[in-house]
């Protein structure tokens, strides 16, 4: 969808304006140099360089807005858990279906994931973009396959809470119940301050999940309560700021999304990022996610399927 959704109208106008400005600068400089071939070299060089910057700006905005957001990358890491056997865990987050991502894109992600033959798939929230999102675009997630199961938590966008470009709170309709009902029909448990025990060939694994921190409803203690101290535990939290809560430190692995890897990463500036203070004493996996919020663009923060290959300790 392009220039039709009120939620993205401003951003698409801004993107088109930047592309038009860059291309206009390029054309003006090119035709001026062509018309004034006898002008001093320094002036022609300056305008040539200015024209190059205009073209570079146009190409960068076009690439970041329409090409990179469609590039699905796979990032693999090896981690250790006190488990009795090896596992392959796939982490997906931040689909943000709506004006930028639809069922066709979700289906592409699902196809890539199933080719990885995961044991576990963890979905860490922000499934929708906003109030105009169609949850039916998430139906391809029902085709995900994992030998030990699929587990999910919801994110701040699912609860109708987000931030504007000026960091001002935006409150929309809470659509978590709608998402949870859909996922239940696809046999995907959505963990709301609770946990499940997964039986492994030689032991067990606890998968705990909390609702998003921004809702004020997250209850880490309740999610982890009742898990045996000897049971390896993975905690799902959309927001990685959960590590700032001491209660989360009993988990062996925390899995999050939310930050989009910065979404737009420039050499000296990161835009649309979430300022997250993290401690290095915990085992924390944060995926860049696969969708976008605010502007449709990504730059040097490619959509990511995160693969965690678990080695037993």
Task: State pLDDT tens for residues 110-126.
Answer: 999 999 999 999 999 99
Angle CA 61–135–271, to nearest 5: 30
Length of the chain: 313
Please report the pLDDT score of residue 4 as a whole number: 57
Given a cut of 70, is residue 242 above it in pLDDT? yes
Q: Give the C-alpha separation, 233 to 235, whole Å.
A: 6
Confidence of residue 156 (pLDDT cuts 50, 70, 90): very high
Q: Is 73-312 in CATH node 3.90.230.10?
A: no
More confident residue, 235 or 271: 235
Lowest model confidence (mean pLDDT) among 68-72, 149-153, 167-171, 284-288? 167-171
Tell me the domain boundaries of the chain: 9-68, 73-312
When pLDDT is averaged across residues 115-138 and rounded to a whole number, the result is 95
Tell me which residue of 313, 293, 300, 304 sits closest to 167, measured CA to CA. 293
Please report the pLDDT score of residue 1 as a whole number: 54
When pLDDT is averaged across residues 248-254 and rounded to a whole number, the result is 93
SS3 (DSSP) at 147: coil
Lowest model confidence (mean pLDDT) among 88-92, 149-153, 172-176? 172-176
pTM here? 0.90
Given a cut of 50, is residue 273 above it in pLDDT? no
Angle between helices 41-62 and 9-35 (to 10 degrees): 150
Report DSSP state, residue 168: -
Task: State pLDDT tens for residues 80-104.
Answer: 888 667 899 999 999 999 999 999 9
């Amino acid at each position: 969808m392009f220039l039709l959704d009120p939620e993205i109208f401003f951003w698409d106008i801004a993107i088109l304006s930047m592309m038009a400005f860059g291309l206009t600068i390029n054309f003006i400089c090119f035709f001026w140099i062509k018309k004034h071939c006898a002008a001093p070299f320094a002036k022609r060089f300056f305008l040539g360089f200015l024209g190059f910057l205009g073209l570079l700006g146009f190409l960068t905005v076009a690439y970041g807005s329409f090409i990179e957001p469609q590039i699905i990358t796979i990032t693999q890491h090896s981690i250790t858990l006190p488990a009795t056997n090896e596992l392959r865990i796939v982490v997906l987050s931040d689909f943000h279906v709506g004006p930028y991502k639809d069922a066709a894109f979700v289906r592409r992600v699902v196809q890539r994931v199933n080719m990885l033959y995961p044991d576990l798939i963890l979905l860490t929230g922000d499934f929708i973009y906003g109030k105009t999102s169609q949850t039916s675009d998430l139906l391809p997630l029902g085709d995900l396959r994992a030998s030990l199961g699929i587990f999910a938590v919801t994110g701040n966008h699912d609860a109708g809470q987000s931030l504007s470009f000026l960091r001002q709170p935006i409150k929309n309709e809470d659509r978590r119940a709608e998402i949870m009902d859909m996922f239940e029909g696809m046999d995907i448990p959505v963990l709301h301050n609770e946990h499940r025990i997964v039986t492994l060939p030689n032991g067990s694994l606890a998968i705990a999940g909390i609702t998003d921190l921004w809702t004020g409803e997250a209850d880490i203690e309740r999610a982890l309560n009742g898990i045996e101290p000897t049971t390896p535990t993975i905690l799902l939290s959309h927001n990685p700021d959960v590590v700032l809560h001491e209660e989360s430190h009993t988990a062996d692995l925390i899995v999050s999304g939310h930050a989009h890897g910065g979404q737009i990463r420039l050499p000296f500036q990161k835009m649309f990022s979430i300022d997250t203070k993290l401690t290095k004493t915990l085992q924390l996996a944060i995926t860049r996610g696969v969708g976008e919020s605010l502007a449709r663009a990504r730059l040097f923060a490619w959509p990511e399927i995160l693969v965690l290959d678990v080695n037993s300790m």
